[in-house]
């Protein structure tokens, strides 16, 4: 197979784009994809300060690599979830990546933020799905770190497969309020919410993995142990089977949703956020979902220690 | 050929040479869900893996819900 651009031997074949690329052309192509997403959706401009949420995985490190290469003012944010050796390895990959490139980064470890706040402990005591507890924690600490650090934009590495799986889940349950907010750019709706953007929203997992590999980025290959059996992985598998039968399905699903269907949901009314009576961050209700979760953890832990049923 | 599967941390050995597409099909791996790596290069579907080759098949799917 030959490179679509220069006819050299190809290393990456993208069926959904009916294209193949050699290494230099693929790296060029990938950066162009990110640049087009940023410009096309007006995600940010060079004068803005970007906080890039990095997990140590292929997507976030590939994205940080491209944005730093393009000259954007980036700072990494790693949130330690307290998932044993997996979190230790993830943090190590982020630190190594940042130090080699001289990029600034910040680390927040949940176990340092309060007793019992590591994701496995929260999931166990509240009997929630770990991914649910993880999502609540991430949203809170990403938002607070962005505000406290004076950043203009929070950048995440959500890719096409993430967005297609999320869309499938939202459509299967017709979650209108979620569909209303499923966009590559979420503008600030409160003084304590910065703009949130997903520059990889049209870039597949294969594409980000290939970029990371070809750039020599040392990322965490191991899967989060808590993700086993997660619904999102089931949706991804279904979508990948459709993709094999009809290349380009995932891209069309997300692109056409955003072009044709999303505007119909955009007007779904949502209550304006108030200030959380505990932490002051935006909340739908008197208390934000993070503080409600912490309340629940503390109450159930206290009951367990007292010997009462949790 | 010797095939290292990641992140499963499993190694399998197969006799004979085959194209990447055939290899993935035999292993039950959907195209586009894994990279096939030989040395420091990525292999496309049509390339042949020789019996003497040692390759890595690295899954690209990640996620839980966060």
Q: What is the 3-state secondary structure (H, E, C) of A7-49?
A: CCECCEEEHHHCEEECHHHHHHHHHHHHHHHHHHCCCCCCCCE
A164's tokens: 């297609």
- Cβ separation A209–B60 shorter than 8 A: yes
The CATH number that domain A43-274 falls under is 3.40.50.620
Looking at the predicted complex, does its ipTM rise above 0.90? yes
Does residue B66 register a pLDDT over 80? no
Q: CA-to-CA distance for A27 and A202, rounded, in angstroms?
A: 16
- Taking residues A217-246, what's their average pLDDT? 94
- Flag whether B21 is in a domain: yes
Size of interface A-B (CB pairs under 8 A): 94
For residue A310, the model assigns a pLDDT of 52
Chain B residues in contact with A223 by the CB 8 A cut-off are: 7, 59, 62
- With both helix axes pointing from N to C terminus, report the angle between A231-245 and A160-172 in degrees, rounded to the nearest 10: 110
- Flag whether B32 is in a domain: yes
Per-residue DSSP letter, A2: B
- Cβ separation A230–B63 shorter than 8 A: yes
pLDDT in tens, A196-206: 999 999 999 99
pLDDT in tens, A243-289: 999 999 999 999 999 999 999 998 876 778 899 999 999 998 899 99
Does residue B43 register a pLDDT over 90? yes
**CA nearest to A253, candidates A241, A263, A243:** A243
Q: Which residue of B has its CA nearest to A205?
A: B60
Write down the mean pLDDT value for chain A: 95
Chain A residues in contact with B63 by the CB 8 A cut-off are: 161-162, 165, 227, 230, 232-233, 236
Does residue B64 register a pLDDT over 60? no
**CA nearest to A27, candidates A214, A217, A219:** A214
Report the domain count for chain B: 1
For residue A229, the model assigns a pLDDT of 82
- Flag whether B23 is in a domain: yes
Question: Taking the domains of chain A in order of start, what are their residue ranges?
Answer: 43-274
Contacts with B49 (C-beta within 8 Å, 6 or more apart), sequence order: B1, B17, B18, B19, B20, B23, B36, B38, B43, B55
Does residue A73 register a pLDDT over 90? yes
Range of the domain at B35: 2-59
Q: CA-to-CA distance for A28 and A33, rounded, in angstroms?
A: 9
For residue A227, the model assigns a pLDDT of 87
**CA nearest to A108, candidates A138, A152, A128:** A138
- Flag whether B53 is in a domain: yes
Per-residue DSSP letter, A157: -
Report strand pairing: B18-19 vs B48-49: antiparallel
**CA nearest to B20, candidates B8, B6, B34:** B34
CATH number reported for the structural domain that contains residue B26 in this entry = 3.10.20.30
Q: CA-to-CA distance for A55 and A157, rounded, in angstroms?
A: 9
- Flag whether B66 is in a domain: no
- Cβ separation B42–A214 shorter than 8 A: yes
């Amino acid at each position: 197979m030959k490179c679509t651009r220069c006819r050299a031997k190809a290393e990456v074949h993208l069926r959904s784009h009916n294209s193949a690329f050699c290494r230099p052309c693929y790296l060029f192509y990938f950066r162009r994809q990110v640049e087009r997403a940023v410009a096309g959706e007006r995600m940010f401009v060079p004068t803005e300060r970007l906080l890039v949420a990095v997990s140590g995985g292929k997507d976030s490190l590939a994205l940080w690599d491209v944005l730093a290469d393009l000259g954007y003012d980036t700072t990494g944010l790693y949130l330690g979830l307290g998932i044993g050796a997996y979190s230790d390895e993830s943090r190590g990959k982020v630190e190594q990546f940042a130090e080699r490139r001289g990029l600034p980064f910040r680390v927040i470890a949940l176990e340092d933020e309060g007793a019992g706040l590591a994701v496995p402990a929260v999931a166990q005591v509240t009997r929630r799905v770990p991914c649910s507890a993880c999502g609540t924690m991430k949203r809170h600490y990403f938002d607070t770190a962005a505000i406290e650090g004076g950043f203009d934009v929070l950048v995440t590495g959500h890719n096409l497969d993430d967005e297609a799986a999320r869309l499938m889940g939202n459509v299967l349950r017709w979650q209108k309020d979620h569909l209303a907010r499923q966009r590559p750019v979420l503008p600030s709706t409160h003084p304590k919410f910065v703009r949130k953007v997903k520059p990889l929203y049209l870039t597949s997992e294969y594409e980000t993995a290939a970029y990371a590999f070809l750039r020599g980025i040392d990322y965490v290959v191991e899967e989060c142990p808590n993700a086993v059996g997660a619904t999102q992985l089931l949706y991804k598998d279904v979508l990948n089977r459709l993709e094999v039968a009809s290349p380009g399905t995932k891209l069309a699903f997300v692109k056409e949703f955003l072009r044709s269907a999303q505007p119909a949901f955009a007007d779904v009314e949502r209550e304006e956020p108030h200030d959380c009576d505990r932490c002051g961050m935006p909340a739908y209700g008197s208390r934000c979902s993070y503080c409600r979760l912490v309340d629940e953890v503390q109450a159930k832990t206290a009951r367990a220690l007292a010997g009462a049923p949790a | 050929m010797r095939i290292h599967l990641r992140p499963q941390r499993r190694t399998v050995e197969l006799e004979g040479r085959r194209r990447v597409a055939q290899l993935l099909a035999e292993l039950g791996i959907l195209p586009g869900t894994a990279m096939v790596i030989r040395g420091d290069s990525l292999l496309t579907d049509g390339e042949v893996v020789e019996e003497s080759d040692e390759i890595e098949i690295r899954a690209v799917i990640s996620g839980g819900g966060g």
